[in-house]
Structure 1
């Protein structure tokens, strides 16, 4: 695979990786399983149990596993054609996916702030 193709995949694959990681760790559709995992991560009896369940509550941690899944499915490797290319791809894809998720979080925060400001202005106009 040539470098241009690898770069294309490096910036494209993190989109679904970030989408899956964000949805599982933040969105309402997974609220109940996430709350269960939060509870188990805080109140688990063993360190291993607490750390295992924490992985499903942190988008950064969870993105490593989602990335590993996508690497297996797509057989993507970066720079080198052997196991080292898969290792490099794992961390590069996680980095880019978390960069995308950070941008998404900032956009959501700005939109929420703007909606709140609009609601406050509408209430002031009604008075």
Structure 2
């Protein structure tokens, strides 16, 4: 795979990785399993159990496992054609996916703040 193709994969593949990691750890559709995992990660007596369930509550942690699945499905490697290329690709994909999720979180905060300001202005106009 040439360098240009690798770079395209490097910036496109983190999009679905970020989407899956964010959805599982933040969105309403997974609220009940998320709350269960949060509870187990805080209240379990065993350290291994607490850490296992924590992985499903943290988008950064969970993105590592989504990335491993994506690497398995796509066989994408970065710069080197052997196992080292998979290792490089894994960490690079996780990093870029988390940059994407951070940008998404900032956009969501801005949108929420804008909605609150609009509601406040509407209530002032009505009142």
Same fold per TM (> 0.5)?
Answer: yes
Structure 1 unmatched runs, 5+ = none
TM-score after normalising by structure 1: 1.00
Normalised to the residue count of structure 2, the TM-score between the two structures is 1.00
The alignment covers a number of residue pairs equal to 127
- State the match for 1:63 in structure 2: 63
Matches within 5 A, 1:33-72: 33-72=33-72
Q: SS at 1:78's partner residue?
A: coil
Q: Could you say which residue in structure 2 is the equivalent of 1:105?
A: 105
Task: Indicate yes or no: 2:4 matched with 1:19.
Answer: no
Pairwise CA distance, 1:45? 1.1
Distance in 2 (CA, whole Å) between partners of 1:111 and 1:37 is: 28
Aligned CA-pair RMSD? 0.3
Q: Which residue of 2 aligns with 1:10?
A: 10
Runs of 4+ off more than 6 Å: none
Unaligned ranges ≥5, structure 2: none
Other-structure match for 1:120? 120
